[in-house]
Amino acid sequence: MKRIGWGILGCGWIATEAIAPAIGWSGNGRLVAVASRDPQTAADKAKETGAARAYAPYEALLDDPDVDAVYIGLPNGMHEEWALRCAEAGKHVLCEKSLALTVDAALRMTRAFRERRLRLVEAFMYRHHPQWAVVRDLLDAGAIGRVRIVRGSFCSRFDKASNHRWSASLGGGALWDLTCYSINAARYITRAEPQSVAALAGTDTPEGVDATSQASLAFEGGVTVAATGSLQSGFDQDFVVIGEEGVLRLSRPFAPGWTPTQVALTRRLETERRIDVGGANHFLHQVEHFASLVLAPERDAWPAEDGLLNVAACQAVAESWRTGTVVPVPDLRYQP
């Protein structure tokens, strides 16, 4: 099987402890290089991950002809710059969420890759866990009837002294790091887009970011979505889909780990039924899926526009909490 050559920009935990091993295990990719701002860090991480080459600064990786695709594992505020540099260098990009911090930035990125016939995909790894295929199949089969309400939560605690999530200049905050998951998942399982947003957020932190954010989104078809995220709470993840005939619940929706999971299904007043889902490495499935898109240009799966639409929803959330008003979400599905 043909394999694409991967490069990794940034040496954070996800990049080196999750993405790099996944590339090594994949059947259609190989890890060529890692890049850091610091030469010693790059060398150390290349040795740890089995990458053939180490680069510092980041630009050097883009000159490597053996690198076909780049995983951008940098903080949110750096995504646009380095994605555009990758496009100019002719590299496909799997970009860590959130794709960008504004619709304008996401549009620039989307167009740059489309013009060059390159792949740009936002890295929401949770989608690649098989439990979500179970959820979509159940919904398509009418297991809970017409979906009316979706609730999602993803919360954790991060150290202010050392974590980029608390930096406004690096695109930190709960919205762009955690609340965005529930918004994305609601879009994924409903196959619909939000039309308007009403949001609350803790924006009075000294760091200038939202420590906690909550949003209510009105989706097409009358679905109401509640999304919550926090950088200053105990770890929590939950996702509930309420239909006219029943309820689906995922207790480990976004960080399922490698062990088996369950999807809980309750219809009307019946006893809850639990559907077992085998353990999986969603990072491995993610990098193999992306490589398959690079190797098959004719496939139209999860294009850059999907990330653009999530950015549009999140930007509306941010505008809503700044203005205290209900904010419409622009429909960007058919942007030229």
320 prior amide bond cis, ω within 30: no
Q: Which of 33-47, 162-176, 199-213, 304-318 has the lowest mean pLDDT?
A: 199-213
Nearest to 98 by CA among 84, 77, 112: 77
262-285: average pLDDT: 94
Above 60 in pLDDT, residue 325?
yes
Question: Across residues 221-249, what is the average pLDDT?
Answer: 96
Question: Which residue out of 47, 91, 97, 160 is catalytically annotated?
Answer: 97
Tokens of 281: 């490495």
Give the integer Cα–Cα distance in Å for 176 and 122: 13
Return the pLDDT at 299. 75
Asked whether the beta carbons of 260 and 272 are under 8 A apart, the reply is no
Examine the pLDDT at 1 and tell me if it is beyond 90. Answer: no
What pLDDT is recorded for position 298?
Answer: 77
Q: Which pLDDT band, with edges at 50, 70 and 90, does 200 fall under?
A: confident
Does 289 score more than 70 pLDDT?
A: yes
**pLDDT for the residue numbered 202:** 62
Report the chain's mean pLDDT, rounded to a whole number. Answer: 94
- pTM for the whole thing? 0.95
Confidence label for 161 from pLDDT (cuts 50, 70 and 90): low
Per-residue pLDDT tens for 109-144?
999 999 999 999 999 999 999 999 999 999 999 999
Q: Which two tokens stand for residue 7?
A: 């490069």
Res. 201: pLDDT tops 70: no
Confidence of residue 308 (pLDDT cuts 50, 70, 90): very high
* 190-202 mean pLDDT: 90
Place of tokens 């996401």: 106
Question: Mean pLDDT over residues 310-330, rounded?
Answer: 95
Q: Assign domain 127-281+311-328 to a CATH class.
A: alpha beta
**Alpha carbon distance 68, 119 (integer Å):** 11
The pLDDT value recorded for residue 169 is: 85
- Section 138-166 average pLDDT: 92
pLDDT score of 11: 93
Q: What percentage of residues in the chain have a pLDDT greater than 70?
A: 97
- Domain definitions of the chain by residue range: 4-125+286-301, 127-281+311-328
Quote the distance between the C-alpha of residue 293 and its chain's center. Answer: 17
Q: Look at residue 203 in the predicted model and tell me its pLDDT.
A: 59
Homologous superfamily in CATH for domain 4-125+286-301: NAD(P)-binding Rossmann-like Domain (3.40.50.720)
Which whole number is the average pLDDT over 217-223?
96
Query: Is 47 one of the annotated active-site residues of the chain?
Result: no
What band does 336 get if pLDDT is binned at 50, 70 and 90?
A: low
Q: Who's near 335: CB < 8 A, 6+ residues apart? A: 107, 110, 305, 308
- Tokens of residue 84, six digits: 């555009």
Q: What are phi and psi for residue 292, nearest 5 degrees?
A: -65, -30
- The string of pLDDT tens digits covering residues 70-96 is 999 999 999 999 999 999 999 999 999
* pLDDT (tens digit per residue) in 2-48: 899 999 999 999 999 999 999 999 999 999 999 999 999 999 999 99
Q: How many CA atoms lie within 13 A of 77 on its CB side?
A: 11
